[in-house]
């Protein structure tokens, strides 16, 4: 059980620090999932159930963990997933994540619903910057957002397609993050919660502004505060989007295009046939349709259909370097992770995030050695033991 008086070593350690530091409504927004959070739990448990197969007496003295993702070398087959409101979890959180990811050598994907704008985030660091896009009803605003991303130096556009409507997250309902609430709940969400978390209140609440949704502020003006994010998402994200809208996206964006939110093999095939450069096998971190399969459970079925035709990524439940190894073993080219990097940044700042990435790199490298492989390209299903479960 992680404790706060010891140095953090794992995602669980950083999660505990984030829980203590953040106001309850923000931690629950970050940590929670849809409805009963069945899928949220499956995402993690199904990784845990995959057993590795230990191999011995192989020369593993020289190992490399690097890989190529859309023309750029990555230190580790990992990218940081887009997480909305990250700039409320840590001071200018998106800019900090971009800085750390670039220094470590992996891509960072910025959310449409970020506090820091794409321009601010791009200027904060180096290395590959991806941008996650929701299809907005206002096509003029959507086209302008793509233009801004391109001009800021974004190299990959990640179109999220599993949020035509916003899933219900009971923790957000209870904390009024989804709107509503009486005067008492609003008071608990605001002044009282701030007073109970003075470190966060000083660093983020008082000195981390402006607290607006930086990417969409030009289209909403003063109404683009983090309190309005749920209402904006419900009113502005287009539920009528279809496969044919990819043609419109391609007119606005000529670079690599990833479709994020695919959980069905048939949809993966359609994405390949429509010319997507990559897909993310994802259930939105268990935050949308509760009760669906975990991402890692669906990954091999999807890889069977589209492996070799596009770059294949997976997110949801990645909590360690060993999970990255398991994802590659089941057909992914790389993994993505969301909550863990925000836990680390919220709980221990940029140093915490860098240390977490270093720890995951070590876990990945050691696990490669102990399963008998020395290159990421050599990771196959052979590193897993299907005769048992962990």
Count of H-run helices and E-run strands, the chain: 18, 10
**Is the separation of the CB atoms in 77 and 97 below 8 Å?**
no
Task: Report the phi/psi class of residue 140: left, alpha or beta, with left for phi > 0 and alpha for psi in -120 to 50.
Answer: alpha
CA gap 291, 283 in Å, rounded: 10
**Which residue carries 């996650």 as its tokens?**
132
DSSP assignment of 106-123: --EEE-TT-SS-HHHHHH
The two beta strands, 156-160 and 257-262, are parallel
N- to C-terminal Cα separation, the chain: 19
How many Cα atoms are found within 13 Å in the side-chain-facing hemisphere of 30? 30
Alpha-carbon torsion (22, 81, 114, 139), positive or negative = negative
**Is the separation of the CB atoms in 361 and 346 below 8 Å?**
no
CA gap 177, 154 in Å, rounded: 30
Crossing angle for the helix pair 38-48 and 295-306, nearest 10 degrees?
A: 70
Task: Report the phi/psi class of residue 105: left, alpha or beta, with left for phi > 0 and alpha for psi in -120 to 50.
Answer: left
Among 197, 211, 284, 301, the active-site one is 284
CA gap 155, 149 in Å, rounded: 9
Q: Catalytic site residue 284?
A: yes
Which residues are designated catalytic? 284
């Amino acid at each position: 059980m992680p404790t706060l008086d010891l140095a953090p070593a794992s995602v669980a350690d950083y999660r505990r620090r984030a829980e203590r530091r953040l106001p309850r409504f923000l931690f629950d927004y970050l940590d929670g999932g849809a409805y009963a959070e069945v899928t949220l739990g499956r995402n993690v448990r199904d990784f845990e159930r995959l057993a590795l197969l230990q191999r011995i007496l192989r020369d593993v003295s020289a190992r490399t963990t690097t890989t190529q993702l859309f023309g750029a070398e990555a230190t580790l087959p990992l990218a940081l997933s887009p997480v909305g409101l990250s700039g409320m979890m840590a001071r200018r959180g998106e800019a900090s994540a971009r800085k750390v990811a670039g220094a470590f050598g992996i891509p960072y994907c910025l959310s449409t619903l970020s506090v820091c704008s794409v321009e601010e985030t791009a200027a904060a660091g180096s290395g590959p910057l991806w941008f996650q896009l929701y299809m907005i009803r206002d096509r003029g605003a959507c086209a302008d957002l793509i233009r801004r991303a391109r001009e800021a130096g974004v190299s990959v556009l990640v179109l999220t397609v599993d949020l035509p409507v916003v899933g219900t997250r009971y923790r957000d309902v209870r904390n009024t993050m989804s709107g509503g609430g009486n005067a008492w709940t609003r008071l608990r969400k605001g002044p009282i919660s701030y007073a109970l978390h003075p470190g966060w209140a000083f660093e983020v609440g008082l000195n981390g502004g402006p607290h607006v949704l930086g990417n969409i502020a030009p289209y909403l003006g003063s109404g683009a505060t983090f309190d309005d994010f749920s209402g904006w998402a419900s009113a502005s994200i287009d539920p009528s989007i279809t496969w044919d809208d990819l043609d419109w996206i391609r007119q606005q964006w000529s670079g690599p295009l990833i479709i994020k939110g695919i959980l069905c093999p048939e949809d993966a095939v359609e994405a390949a046939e429509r010319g997507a450069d990559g897909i993310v096998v994802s259930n939105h971190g268990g935050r949308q349709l509760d009760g669906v399969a975990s991402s890692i459970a669906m990954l091999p079925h999807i890889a069977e259909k589209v492996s070799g035709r596009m770059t294949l990524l997976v997110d949801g439940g990645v909590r360690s370097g060993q999970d990255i190894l398991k994802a590659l073993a089941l057909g992914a080219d790389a993994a993505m992770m969301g909550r863990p990097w925000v836990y680390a940044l919220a709980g221990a700042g940029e140093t915490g995030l860098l240390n977490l990435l270093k720890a995951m790199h070590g876990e990945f490298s050691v696990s490669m050695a102990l399963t008998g492989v020395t290159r990421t390209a050599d990771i196959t299903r052979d590193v897993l033991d299907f005769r048992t479960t962990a």
